[in-house]
Structure 1
Amino acid sequence: MIKRTLLTCFCSVLILSTPLLAAKDQKDTEKQSQTQTSKMEVPSSVLTIGKENTYPNAVEDLPTLQPSELTQELLKTSNVPIENPQLIKMFNESSMNKTPTAIGMRATIYLGEWALNYDSAETAANWEYQKMNTNYVDNRGGKTNIQMHYVQETQKTIKGGLTSNVPGAEDVKKMMILKAGQKSGLPLAFETVIGAGTKKDQVYNIAPKRLGYLYAYAPAINEKGKVTYGEVYLVFKGMKRMIVVKNVTSQGIGAWIPIQDHVSFGFITSDKPR
Structure 2
Amino acid sequence: MKQVITSVCSLLLLLAPCHVFAEKAAIKAPPSALDISKENTYPNPTQDLPRLQPSELAKNLLDTSKIPIENPDLIRMFNETSISNAPLAVGYRAKIYLGQWPLNYESTETTVNWEYQQINRNFHDNRGGKTFHALSYHQDTQKIIQGGLTAPIKNAEDVKKMMLLKAMSKTNLPLAFQTVVGYGTKHSRVYNIAPSNLGYLTAYAPAVNEKGKVTFGEVYLVLKGNQRHLLIKNVTSQGIGAWIPVQDHVSFGFVTSPTPR
Give the alignment's TM-score, normalised by structure 2: 0.90
> Is residue 2:229 matched to residue 1:209?
no
Structure 2 letter corresponding to 1:270: S
Give 3-state SS (helix, strand or coil) of 1:200's partner. coil
> Is residue 2:179 matched to residue 1:196?
no
* Separation in structure 1 between the aligned mates of residue 89 and residue 105 of structure 2, nearest angstrom: 35
Question: Could you tell me which of 226, 231, 235 is aligned with 1:244?
Answer: 231
Alignment coverage as a number of residue pairs: 237
Question: Could you tell me which of 81, 97, 100 is aligned with 1:113?
Answer: 100
Q: CA deviation at 1:150?
A: 0.1
Match of 1:157 in 2: 144
Matches within 5 A, 1:122-271: 122-271=109-258
Give 3-state SS (helix, strand or coil) of 2:207's partner. strand
* Separation in structure 1 between the aligned mates of residue 211 and residue 40 of structure 2, nearest angstrom: 29
Match of 2:18 in 1: none
Give 3-state SS (helix, strand or coil) of 2:57's partner. helix
* Separation in structure 2 between the aligned mates of residue 122 and residue 134 of structure 1, nearest angstrom: 31
Percent identity between matched residues is 65
* Separation in structure 2 between the aligned mates of residue 220 and residue 101 of structure 1, nearest angstrom: 57
Matches within 5 A, 1:35-54: 39-54=26-41
Unaligned runs of 5+ residues in structure 2 are: 1-24
Unaligned runs of 5+ residues in structure 1 are: 1-37
Structure 2 letter corresponding to 1:198: T
Which stretches of structure 1, 4 residues or longer, exceed 3 Å deviation after superposition?
Answer: none
> Is residue 2:59 matched to residue 1:59?
no
Match of 2:73 in 1: 86
Structure 1 letter corresponding to 2:105: Y
* CA distances 1:117-174 after superposition (whole Å, capped 9, x unpaired): 0000000000000000000000000000010100000000000000000001000000
Q: CA deviation at 1:63?
A: 4.2
* Separation in structure 1 between the aligned mates of residue 66 and residue 199 of structure 2, nearest angstrom: 60
Moved more, 158-167 or 93-102: 93-102
Structure 2 letter corresponding to 1:58: P
Structure 1 letter corresponding to 2:189: Q
Structure 2 letter corresponding to 1:161: G
Q: CA RMSD in A?
A: 0.8
Q: CA deviation at 1:112?
A: 0.4
Give 3-state SS (helix, strand or coil) of 2:189's partner. strand
Q: CA deviation at 1:80?
A: 0.8
Q: CA deviation at 1:107?
A: 0.2
* CA distances 1:64-85 after superposition (whole Å, capped 9, x unpaired): 1111111000000012110000
Give the alignment's TM-score, normalised by structure 1: 0.86
Contact 1:83/1:116, CA 8 A, preserved across alignment: yes
* Separation in structure 2 between the aligned mates of residue 178 and residue 184 of structure 1, nearest angstrom: 10
* CA distances 1:6-60 after superposition (whole Å, capped 9, x unpaired): xxxxxxxxxxxxxxxxxxxxxxxxxxxxxxxx81121000000000000000000
* Separation in structure 1 between the aligned mates of residue 28 and residue 158 of structure 2, nearest angstrom: 29
